[in-house]
């Protein structure tokens, strides 16, 4: 979408997560070190972007059976990943990745080390709640990672994978510390802005928003820089009708921003 009469470019993106197959996610990570199978990535934490080697997953034989992790990086900071993309039962990935981390630590790693277990799946309140319980009862937050994957496409063929870590720390960001490319109309002192730790993602929430993490603010706005791209950002506008946009980072006034319930002054803008 181009906002008529402006120089700002906002392209409406379609959420195609529900129709995306798991092998698409697998191919992205099989090619994480070389092009990511043609998908552009936003929101990925630095600890994941640091992985520049090929996927080393192979079949691991045990006494009575064998297993093959989806992704295994046995480097200085070892990591095992379980990838799930289905409309049901994605939560089994939590059991699988812990199983894999335990056996890889015993069989493949030296010195009693275990690879960091990472789940990549869709947004699931079941998964979030299960981890909330474990964290509340002593599980260290750095002992397992969850990334939620959203697949987006543009009408011109662009394809984007937005990764979000719901349990990452949110650091309050005063308006005067926000990146310059955040629209001025959204840099308001009566809204709360956060920087998602360890990645190039920022979140805006109502000033009276007090829900505990990992709740998502409604209404709210997420802005994530597309990795390795200049002037390319993904924007999620959470309201009565959630919308995703690809944005070029230019904005000359409130009329150049899609309508957003969080920032009421923009409701007249063309969606």
Domain count of the chain? 1
- Residue span of the structural domain in which 30 resides: 10-266
Domain assignment present for residue 206? The answer is yes
Tens digits of pLDDT across the chain (271 residues): 443 334 558 899 999 999 999 999 999 999 999 999 999 999 999 999 999 999 999 999 999 999 999 999 998 899 999 999 998 999 999 999 999 999 999 887 766 789 999 999 999 999 999 999 999 999 999 999 999 999 999 998 999 999 999 999 999 998 888 888 888 888 877 778 999 999 999 999 988 888 888 988 988 999 999 999 988 999 999 887 789 999 988 765 555 677 788 887 543 333 3
In Å, how far are 17, 72, 132, 212 from 203, measured between CA atoms? 21, 31, 21, 15
Domain assignment present for residue 170? The answer is yes
Domain assignment present for residue 87? The answer is yes
Alpha-carbon span 116 to 79, nearest angstrom: 4
Give the chain's count of helices (H) and strands (E): 4, 15
Alpha-carbon span 127 to 106, nearest angstrom: 26
Domain assignment present for residue 2? The answer is no
Domain assignment present for residue 30? The answer is yes
Domain assignment present for residue 236? The answer is yes
- Give the number of other CB atoms < 10 A from CB of residue 83: 25
Domain assignment present for residue 1? The answer is no
- The structure's pTM equals 0.91
Selection from 60, 51, 46, 58 nearest residue 28 by Cα: 51
Domain assignment present for residue 3? The answer is no
DSSP 20-80: --HHHHHHHHHTTTTTGGG-EEES--HHHHT--SPP----EE-SS-EE--SEEE-SSS-EE
Q: Which residues of 164-203 are buried (b: 16+ CB within 10 A; e: fewer)?
A: bbbbbebeebeeeebeeebbebbbeeebbbbbbebbbbbb
């Amino acid at each position: 979408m181009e906002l008529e009469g402006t120089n700002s470019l906002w392209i409406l993106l379609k959420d195609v997560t529900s129709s995306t197959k798991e092998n698409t996610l697998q191919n992205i990570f099989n090619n994480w070190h070389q092009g990511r199978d043609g998908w552009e990535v936003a929101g990925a934490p630095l600890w994941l972007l640091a992985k520049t080697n090929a996927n080393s997953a192979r079949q691991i034989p045990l006494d009575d059976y064998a297993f093959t992790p989806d992704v295994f990086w046995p480097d200085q900071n070892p990591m095992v990943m379980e990838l799930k993309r289905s409309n049901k039962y994605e939560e089994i990935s939590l059991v699988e990745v812990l199983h894999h981390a335990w056996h890889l630590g015993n069989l493949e790693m030296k010195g009693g080390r275990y690879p960091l277990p990472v789940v990549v799946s869709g947004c699931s309140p079941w998964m979030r709640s299960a981890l909330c319980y474990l964290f509340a009862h002593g599980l260290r937050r750095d002992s397992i990672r969850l990334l939620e994957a959203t697949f987006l496409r543009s009408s011109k063929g662009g394809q984007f994978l937005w990764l979000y870590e719901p349990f990452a720390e949110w650091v309050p960001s005063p308006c005067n510390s926000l990146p310059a490319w955040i629209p001025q109309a959204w840099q308001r002192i009566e809204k709360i802005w956060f920087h998602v730790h360890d990645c190039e993602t920022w979140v805006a929430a109502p000033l009276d928003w007090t829900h505990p993490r990992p709740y998502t603010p409604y209404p709210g706005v997420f802005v994530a820089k597309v990795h390795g791209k200049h002037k390319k950002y993904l924007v999620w506008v959470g309201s009565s009708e959630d919308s995703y946009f690809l944005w070029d980072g230019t904005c000359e006034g409130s009329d150049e921003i899609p309508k957003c319930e969080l920032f009421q002054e923009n409701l007249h803008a063309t969606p």
